[in-house]
Structure 1
């Protein structure tokens, strides 16, 4: 029962319907075992009095009535337990999703999306099956076995011992095979997660697949993964297929032994024919509960295996979280300071000895070659990860001492790789500020220059976007993300190469409108184009993970260092494009 520990808090909240379920199951067991007794009375009456129509009708009516009552009770227990299982599944799913939202990037970097989806669907379904049919059979079958065993011992001790020695072999066989089934089911679930990941990646990257004409290769890779899934399922089905023939064999052996021993007991006068019929009726009643108990064990084993996978997520602790006693600035101004900041992956330093201060309302541009650590620095501000060394402060407070949600609310981040949701365009724009008015949305559209593209959308702002914004061009995605960031009205605005997919003319227009937005707002701009960053109050150049030079555009040109070299290359490229 230790494997069910994660479910106890949920089951405790359902204790009232659980108690009622137990009571109804007990009543059902009593009613269910009364029919064989009525049958015994009818057979004894036939032996002693012959065929008496009125008496037979009375016994038939009683058996039918008991059957009706038992059916009603079974209906209610299924309703009660079914409600419990779906309620627990609902609460568990909500808690699982909340935990997904709490976990940080490190967790998602270590787990495949498909595997997490499998835990949220298949594993949850297995837990519900364990609680629904599993609990129903545990209550119903378990109590029926107890009540029927009492009646069987009251008829004949030796015959009852024989039956209750043979019948549990059905359950034991199910348990032994079920243990192997649990192992194989776990392998099946893991492989299903890998297939889901493969499919999800292919759907998301369909443009890339088609651009490189890799459809056949991806089909083959998926076929191999699917073939492995089939192989593991067949191994599971092989064991599952062995169960029922074995059950039939054990039931046949049990009935044969009872007929042999019971027939001798009737012949010797130890029990009457009516009692023997009653006893066999109880054996018939117990056949399915014995199988059901074994099946319940199988459901339990599958449910526990799935519950452990869910537990891994629920018990995962985010490495980035709010401090127990957070601090807040008296007034958010947006002063950003980094002191000797460094980030290390394994033994390799990505950035090190980074120090700068951005006064409130000022702008800082960061330039450098690909892989120089520009994005890594901006990720530190929103605590996507924490620095390996050094301190980052906003308004004089270490960001690790600020409430995480409040810190992130004050920052708007526009990444180069824009993520859009499969919802209407307007919902993507107002994602960070759902209460935005129409005028604010129009201003954000104007600033991002997305307003020029609206006539291209069939339903304007209500146009439904494909998954991850697949129906938009790269430039339209980035402008949508800029509109979303501008609308949020942040204290700190971060543009991480967010105009790389926008043409030069449109980028210039966006920058012209952004100057008004950036006025009085702390801004950090990362870009490959010098034209994008030249108006920043300060520019730093990263080389080999460290600051190589810093200053204004004019100062850096005069220094004739890496920045000036980048600027000259850009001018030369522009001249070549014009020619």
Structure 2
């Protein structure tokens, strides 16, 4: 019932069209009794009647009228069926369009925790195959159910009108058919839920391998990935076949019962004709309309099959439809202001899936200050900077920007004041110009060039076939890691944010290029608080302050000179990196 309410809610704007389609389905299916009735009159009047030969002469106009009536009703039903199908398709396609937009917006509005829990392939399945299954049900399955039920009831009513006893004989087969259908539905429903999950796994594997094809080729793991895909494909195929075989288990019984209507009609109906209980015309009406009983019974298995698929898909769509993010972006219209860029962490702790990632982080960054964060892999560096734009919320403590808890700030305004460049660079399938101006599509061309120069990207962009108009492949295919990082850095700086967060964005560039970028960051023509995650001492040395994280805690804090003097973690990293540089210089010499 809830699912039907959901469908009705999302039909808003097409409800009249859909209700009209349902009404026309009932009306058109009810007209199926007209031609058998006319056929009965023709047979009893002009074929088997006592004075049939005379009536063929005397009432020829009536015969012609009845024949044209049958033809006319056939055309009428055909026209109504066409128009009805058109209405179903229009209503279902419009609903699909609206729901797909809503779901896409819903997914866009989810927080990072949602993406941590949901696989890309699963979300793609919901947005494509599951939605199309709902459309198919709205435009075809419900139509088939309504028309089959109407034809069945119309035929039963007409049969009772002709002869009650013969009708009851025919209806003897209905109870076993419904019992068989019930058993089939109860057995197959969990199988389609499992089938839907296996399809999602298959799509996830496909998506991961297509997006990660370079890694697969780099490690020569094509055979392994093919085997993994084949395993998922076999699992999906087995589940599909298992569900299909269940239908085949019940199909012989349903088909036998459906054919049984004709057998009963031949035996009981033939006996009633010989006994004079019904006329031959009435028997012909039964024969012409017996499909109205057998076809719905024959289709019941197919309908149940599709209905189970529908409920399995709809449940997944509703999961997305009613999913609520923990961090809600209300998109409230506010007069967006430029922040000063003061950042405070007050006794901040963060847990992810009950595992402590950050604990008692406490520091302040003044406007225009540059803070470098260093630490071993898994120490919580990326999580820490993710709390500033509220990709996640602190479990304990507060993160403040300009003295205001970020949880009280409008998200669009907060994030509009923060430029972010991550280590895992994602470039869109657009021009280089479009990627750099992503945060501000109205950015003038000279400004795009300016920030590309600051990010040490202008020289290699200029050498590309179409310069800034060169199309970047999916996820930046065709560019080196360092080139992608520099374009991402230019994109982050292009919005001229008061807060700039850089997550190891120079790890793939050479030392000379890194020095150029560091110089550019120091000489920005707008006030900017910079938080830089880095593993190179050459990057952190010029920072106003350096934080060292270890297992989610700040274990060292100070300037480059102060941390060297402490001879702790930072000193060890410095010695390791400078020893490596010294050895390389000796070897080159």
After TM superposition, the score normalised by the length of structure 2 is: 0.92
8 Å CA contact retained: 1:181, 1:236: yes
Deviates more, 1:276-285 or 1:33-42: 276-285
Change (3 A) 1:553 1:518: farther
The equivalent residue for 1:284 is 291
- Give the whole-Å Cα distance in 2 for the aligned partners of 1:577 and 1:93: 57
Corresponding residue number in structure 2 for 1:266: 273
Aligned-pair distance for 1:56?
4.5
Consecutive unaligned residues in structure 1, runs of 5 or more: none
- Which position in structure 2 is the counterpart of 1:29? 29
1:276-322: per-residue Cα shift (whole Å, max 9, x none)?
11122221233323434553333222211211111112222212225
Matching of residues 115-126 of structure 1 within 5 Å: 115-126=122-133
CA distance 1:280–1:329, shift in 2 (3 Å):
closer
- Mapped contact 1:367–1:539 kept (Cα < 8 A): yes
Q: Secondary structure of the residue that 2:391 maps to in structure 1?
A: coil
Shift of 1:564: 3.1
Contact residue 103 and residue 127 of structure 2 kept, 8 A: yes
**Aligned-partner Cα distance in 1 for 2:281–2:324:** 65
Instruction: State the distance in 1 between where 2:176 and 2:77 align.
Output: 27
- Name the CA shift for 1:453/1:349 in 2 (closer, same or farther; >3 Å): same
Report the alpha carbon displacement of residue 4 of structure 1 after superposing the two structures with TM: 2.7
Distance 2:223 2:497 in 1: 46
Look up the SS of the partner of 1:33 in the other structure. helix
Moved more, 450-459 or 326-335: 326-335
Structure 1 residue 331 displacement after superposition: 5.7
Q: What is the aligned partner in structure 1 of residue 48 from structure 2?
A: 47
Which SS does the other structure have where 1:337 is aligned? Answer: strand
Match of 1:2 in 2: 2
Matched, 1:335 2:342: yes
* Equivalent residue, structure 2, for 1:130: 137
1:524 aligns with 2:525: no
Q: Distance in 1 between matches of 2:521 and 2:396?
A: 33
> For residues 421 and 120 of structure 2, what CA distance do their matches in structure 1 show?
23
Residue 178 of structure 1 is matched in structure 2 by: 185
Deviates more, 1:323-332 or 1:526-535: 323-332
Q: CA deviation at 1:380?
A: 0.9
- Which residue of the other structure, out of 394, 399, 411, is the alignment partner of 2:401? 394
1:317-367 Cα deviation digits (max 9, x unpaired): 212225899999976211101111122345643332221111112221112
Deviates more, 1:144-153 or 1:125-134: 144-153
Pick aligned residue for 2:471 from 447, 464, 469: 464
In the alignment, the residues of structure 2 paired with residue 545 and residue 294 of structure 1 have an alpha-carbon distance, to the nearest angstrom, of: 58
Alpha-carbon shift at residue 500 of structure 1 (Å): 0.2
Query: 1:171, 1:294 within 8 Å by CA — same for their partners in 2?
Result: no
Cα contact 2:338–2:417 (8 A) shared by 1: no
Q: Which residue of 2 aligns with 1:434?
A: 441
SS at match of 1:431: coil
Measured in 2, the distance between the counterparts of 1:133 and 1:432 equals: 44
Is 1:11 the counterpart of 2:11 in the alignment?
Answer: yes
Q: TM-score, normalised by structure 1?
A: 0.94
Is 2:500 the partner of 1:499?
no
Q: Compute the displacement of 1:215 (Å).
A: 1.4
Name the SS of the counterpart of 1:517 in structure 2.
coil
Hey, what's the Cα distance between the residues in 1 that align with 2:378 and 2:31?
75
Any idea what the Cα deviations from partners look like across 1:386-407, whole Å, max 9, x if unmatched?
1222111001111111122221
Distance 2:115 2:248 in 1: 38
SS in 1 for 2:387: helix
Deviation at 1:255, TM superposition (A): 1.1
> What is the CA–CA distance in structure 1 between the aligned matches of 2:343 and 2:415, rounded to whole Å?
14
Aligned pairs, how many? 579
Check conservation: 1:449, 1:506, Cα contact below 8 A: yes
- Partners of 2:509 and 2:175 in 1: CA distance: 73
2:38 is the alignment partner of 1:38: yes
Residue 422 of structure 1 and its aligned partner are, at CA, apart by 2.5
Q: Report SS of the residue matched to 2:442.
A: coil
Cα drift, residue 572 of structure 1: 2.1
**Once superposed, what is the RMSD of the aligned Cα atoms?**
2.4
Tell me the equivalent position of 1:300.
307
